[in-house]
Amino acid sequence: MSTDPGTTNDASVDSARPADDRLRCYQCDHRYSYLGDDQHPGVCPDCGSRLVSFAGEPRAVAPREGLAGGSARRLSPVFKVIVSDETDRRFEYFVALPERGGDGPVPILRYVRVEDHRTYPTGENWDDGLVPRGLLHVVRQLTGTGLLVPTDDASTDGDDGEGGIGVGRDP
């Protein structure tokens, strides 16, 4: 599999480090800095959650379950893509494929799970830094279309006028 993400996503940022160079906990919204020489350990110093910014460059792995013959039309209604970072944390992305008229399935990010913690794109602590380019590439390879990342002020029933539903559609 190529490591070239192929396309970019307006909602996607360089996930190795947030733009303000601070780390973030997506569980409690604590923002902090790490001063070590290596990657940060992947644990929030405030609440102990592992649902924090990526350490190093995230790596996405295509799902092996729920696929039949490699056809996007045969994907399960919900499939999981695993992304790991330098600390070997597993970020599990759950993507739904609801049918949408004659356009076929539209992959929509439902939530991200790290260990027993979940965060939702419509949640208060969501940040688009949790959408690495490798994930977008894997979803496009599997479905032939970009990933939709809904927000709390966007509906998955209508178009946002920018070619996608909600925000973060991988063009």
- Chunk the chain into consecutive blocks of 10 residues (it has 171) and report each block's average pLDDT, rounded to whole numbers: 31 41 88 88 92 91 56 65 91 85 77 91 86 91 88 46 38 41
User: Residue 14 has what pLDDT?
Assistant: 42
pTM listed for this prediction:
0.70
User: Residue 115 has what pLDDT?
Assistant: 86
Strand partners of residue 81 = 93
User: Residue 11 has what pLDDT?
Assistant: 36
Strand partners of residue 91 = 83, 114
